[in-house]
Amino acid sequence: MTNVSSATTTGKVETLRVAESEADMRLDRWFRVHFPEVGYTYLQKLLRSGQVRVNSKRVQANDRLRAGSEIRVPAIIREPKKVNPSGRPAMGVSKGDRDTIEKMILYEDEHVLVLNKPFGLAVQGGTGTKKHIDGMLEGMADRFGGERPRLVHRLDRDTTGVLLVAKTRDAAAKLGRTFQTRSAAKTYWALVKGVPKPPQGKVEAALVKASGPDGDRVRKAKPGEQDVAMHATTHYSVIDRAAHKAAWVSLKPVTGRQHQLRAHMHLIGHPIVGDNKYEGDVHMPAENIEKKLHLHARRLVIPHPKGGKTIDVTAPLPAHMAASWDLLGFDPGRFKAE
């Protein structure tokens, strides 16, 4: 097995030795690498029953491993599952798609999964969209304990960053109510054209879906459209600037409307760089900046659905935004998610 220096088998138990390259790796992460079919819930069951041990001792899923440590693994986990708990054959996804999801994981426990969504990958299916995160997760129900993971909120195809997923129906319901009551704190980072004045402010502009060829956009509601208008509020703050050409801004939406941040920044005259729906891809503020949407869901802070703690997850900048930050002299290390 890759990265495992040795293994022995005795009856129904395997003993695997942790390689040098795996030193300080969390136990749950080690299992995701070597046994991707073992979901977090199943691993917790194995740990509670003592079937998985490290150096003959009971351990927790978040314990760190040392090089040379011996992990006791029941051989039963290598036996393929023919059906999922519903009795239907698992839909399944390719190994490449499984690896894609695994690399996205920023946080995981028995109830919640937080992903770092990449640029250009749709969250849900639609016309002409065959590959999307929702479908990939459905095909990995075996990995997540047999129940289909459920999206709690959405991000646009070209928006990157923190995406919250519930691993159970109960967690999905509780997290959904948390979003509805606006108890989730969401912070986005964006690169916008020009520098907003004042440097801190609030945008309150009701939005409606545009008609005609621009039906996949939203616009500011007009008088008389109260019945179809969606109230939307966004707080913004300038973190840094590149002369008068561009600004790094923190965006905190109070509401969660479609394209809200993109439309609001366009409405105040500072469209998000690379936004091809709201004029952010015209007259780029500097050479060598990619014409990709520069909008990133940087941080999410939300009460855990089971209570007792808070989920607080930060996603690193995607490659195209990190390159732009470097080009413009911005230092993302200065802030966690201001």
pLDDT tens figures, 193-222: 999 999 999 999 999 988 666 558 899 999
Q: Please identify which of the residues 156, 214, 275, 281 carries the catalytic annotation.
A: 156
Q: Which 3 state secondary structure label does DSSP give 64?
A: strand
Side chain identity at 15, as an amino acid letter?
A: T
Rounded mean pLDDT of 224-243? 93
pTM comes to 0.76
pLDDT in tens, 4-15: 445 555 557 889
Contact in structure between 226 and 237 (CB atoms under 8 Å): no
Q: Which residue type sits at 78?
A: R
- Residue pair 192/246 in contact (Cβ under 8 Å)? The answer is yes
Q: For residue range 31-75, what is the model confidence (pLDDT) as tens digits?
A: 877 886 777 778 888 998 999 999 999 998 888 899 999 999 998
Q: What is the DSSP letter of 213?
A: G
Q: Residue range 126-137: average pLDDT?
A: 84
- Amino acid identity, residue 202? K
Residue corresponding to tokens 């129940």:
147
d(CA 261, CA 249): 11
Active-site residue flag, 156:
yes
187/195 Cα distance (integer angstroms): 19
Distance CA 191, CA 270 (A): 9
Higher pLDDT, 144 or 110: 110
The count of other CB atoms within 10 Å of the CB of residue 138 is 17
What is the Cα–Cα distance from 231 to 45, expressed in whole angstroms? Answer: 45
d(CA 326, CA 338) in angstroms, rounded, equals 18
